[in-house]
A and B are shown apart, each in its own frame.
Chain A
Amino acid sequence: MTVMSTNRGTATRKGGGSSAIFKTLPLAPFSLVFIFFFCWPIFQIIKNSISDGKGHYNLGAYRLMFTKPYMHAFSVSLQLSFFSALSAGLIGAIIAFYVHKSSKSLQSGIAMLSGVLANSGGVPLAFMFIAAFGAQGGIVTILKKLGFDIYGHGFTLYSFSGLVLVYSFFQIPLMLLVFTPALAGMRNEWREANNSLGGSNLQFIRWVLIPVLFPAFLASTLLLFASAFSAFATARALTGGSVALVPLVIGSLIDGNVITDQANLGDALAVGMVVVSAIVMIFYGFSLRWARGR
C-alpha cells in the first residue's frame, strides 16, 4: 500500500516537472534574447571595469573615474538632467492641468500629439533646432529685428542652456503623457469643499492641489531625469562634445578619440551611469508607489 502510493507520488511529480518545463517554453525566446543581448554585455562591462585588461582584479579604472575631469562630466550630466527635468516637469504639469480642464476632444488630441512628440528625440530634432535657433535661424533673426539679440546676450544653442531648450521639446510632451493620469483622480468636490469652508484659491493650491499631486509629480519628474541623463543622440548632434556629458565622454572613448592608459575607463564610466540611473529608478519606483497609495 505504502509502496504504491509512493510510486504514484513520484509519477505525478515527474510528469508535473517535464510538463512544467514544456509549459514555460513560451518564455524561452524572450529569455534567450534578453540574456544574450542584455545581461551578457552588462556582465562584461562590470567584469572589464574591475580588471586590468589581462584578467587581473584591478580598480584603476574606478580610481581614474573619481578624478576631476570625469567627476566634472558626471556633475554636468546630473545638472543637465536636473534642470531639464525640473523645468519640463513644472511647465508640463501646468499645461497638463489646463489641458485637463479642457474639452474631451482637445484632451485626446493633445494626448495623441504628446505621444508623437515624446518619441521625437535624436538627431533630426537637434538639426531642427539648429535651423530654428542657430545664429542664422529664422526665430533668432526675427527676435534680432525686434530688438532682442539673444546671441548678443551670451546665448548659444550649442551649450548647456541650449540642451535644456532642445530637451524640453520632447520632455514636456513626455510629462504630459505620464502626469495627466494623476489629474484624473482630482475631484471637483474638493474645490467646492474648500470654497464653502472659506478657503481661497491660493489656499486650495497650497493645501490641497500640491500635496495631492506631489507624489505623481515627483515620479514623473524622476522619469524625465532618467531620460535626460541617458540621452546621447541629441547632445552629440547638437554640441559635438563641447559640453562634457558622461555619455558623450563614453562615446569618444569607444571611438578612440580620447586616449587614456586605462583601456577600461569606458566600462567604469558605463557602470557609473548604470548605478546613477538605477538609483533614480529606485526612487521612481518608491514615488510611484507613494502616488498610487493615495
Chain B
Amino acid sequence: MKTRIFEATRYLILAAGLIFFVLPVASAIEFSLRGYGNKGHTMANYSWIFQQDDFFTNITTSLRLAAVAAVLTLLTVVPAVVFLHLEGQKFKRFFEFLAILPLVVPVVSLAIGAQKAMPLFVQNSEYELAFFYVVIAIPYTFQSLNVGLASIPLKTLVEASRSLGASFTRTVLSVIIPAIRGSINSALFLAITLSFGEFTLTSLLHWETFPVWITRVAQGNVLGSIALSMFSLIGAWTLLIVVQSAQNWKGIRLKRTAEEIELEEVAL
C-alpha cells in the first residue's frame, strides 16, 4: 500500500515536471506559427528568417567567434590542465581556485571593466570577444577537463611512453592527446555553446552577434523574433542532445579502457 502511494506520487511529480517543461515550448511553437492578426497558422515567420541577410551575417559571426574561442581554449586551458595533472601538483589548488573566479565576477562587471581597460587595437577588433568568451567559459571548461583527466591514469601512460623511448612530441601526439580526446571534446563543446549564446558582454561592448541581433530584430517583428528564438533553442537542444549521447556512449567505452588498464596494472 505504502509503495503504491509512493509510486503514484513519483509518477505525479515526474509528470508535473514534464508538463512544466514541455508546455511553454509547445505553446511558444504554436505562437511562432501564427499568422499576422491571428489568422490561422503558417510557416511565414520561419521563412521570414531565411529572407534576412542579417541572419546569415550574424550566424557566421557567432560561429566564427565560437570557433576562435574553441581554438584559444585548446591552446590555453588544455595545456594548463594537462600540465597540472602531470607535473604541476603544487600549483593545482591555486589554479583550481583561479578557474572559479570568473564565476564569482558577474559578466556585467567584467563588461564594464573590459570597456575601459582594453587598449584601442583590442577594442577595435571583434576577436576581443573570443578572448573574453574563453575567460567566461573557464569555470566550465577547466572543471570539465580537470574531472575528465582525473579519471585517466595519464601520468602512468606518459611515464610508460617516455621509458619506452618516445620523444616528448611523440608522447604528446600519440599518448596524451588520444588519451584525453574525450575530455578535450567536451571542454571545447562547452566553450562553443557558451560563446555562441553569449549576450551580456557582447551587447554591452556594442558588438552584434546572433543573440544580440535577435533582440534588435524583435523591435520590428515580434513573431519573427519568436520564430527565430524557437529555431535557435530547438537547434541548440538537438545539437546538445546528439553530442551528449555520443559522449555518454564514448564515456562508457573510455571508462572500460581505464578499468582494463587498471586491471593490467594489478596483473603486472
Contact = CB atoms under 8 A, between A and B. Distances in A.
B117 A169 contact: no
B181 interface: no
5 closest pairs, A vs B, by CB? A41-B113, A230-B106, A270-B109, A127-B229, A26-B83
B135 interface: yes
A34 interface: yes
B21 interface: yes
Contacts, number: 229
- Report, as a range, how many residues of chain A touch the other chain: 35 or more
20 contacts: A27-B80, A27-B88, A34-B98, A34-B135, A37-B131, A41-B113, A42-B105, A48-B116, A99-B14, A123-B214, A127-B218, A128-B28, A131-B229, A138-B27, A138-B30, A237-B215, A253-B112, A270-B113, A274-B104, A278-B104
B91 interface: yes
Contacts of B131: 33, 36-37
A116 B106 contact: no
Given A27-B88, A44-B116, A254-B111, A277 B23 contact: no
Contact of A33 (B9, B113, B115, B134): B134
Interface string A245-289: 011001101110000000000110011011001100100000000
B230 A40 contact: no
Given A127-B214, A128-B233, A38 B200 contact: no
Given A132-B28, A226-B103, A267 B112 contact: yes
B107 interface: yes
A209 interface: no
B239 to A, nearest CB: 9
A172 to B, nearest CB: 8
B75 A29 contact: yes
Interface of B: 2, 6, 9-10, 13-14, 17, 20-21, 23-28, 30-32, 72, 75-77, 79-80, 82-84, 87-88, 91, 95, 98, 100-118, 131-132, 134-135, 138, 193-194, 197, 199-200, 203-204, 211, 214-215, 218, 222, 225-226, 228-230, 232-233, 236-237, 240-241, 244-245, 248
B25 A128 contact: yes
Nearest to A233: B199
Contacts of B204: 251, 254-255
Contacts of A182: none
A131 B226 contact: yes
A274 B106 contact: yes
Given A29-B75, A124-B229, A138-B27, A102 B132 contact: no
A281 B113 contact: no
Contacts of A236: 199, 203, 215
Contact of B80 (A30, A98, A121): A30
Nearest to B17: A95
A124 B211 contact: yes
A112 B233 contact: no
A132 B24 contact: yes
A208 interface: no
B99 to A, nearest CB: 9
Contact of A139 (B10, B27, B84, B135): B27
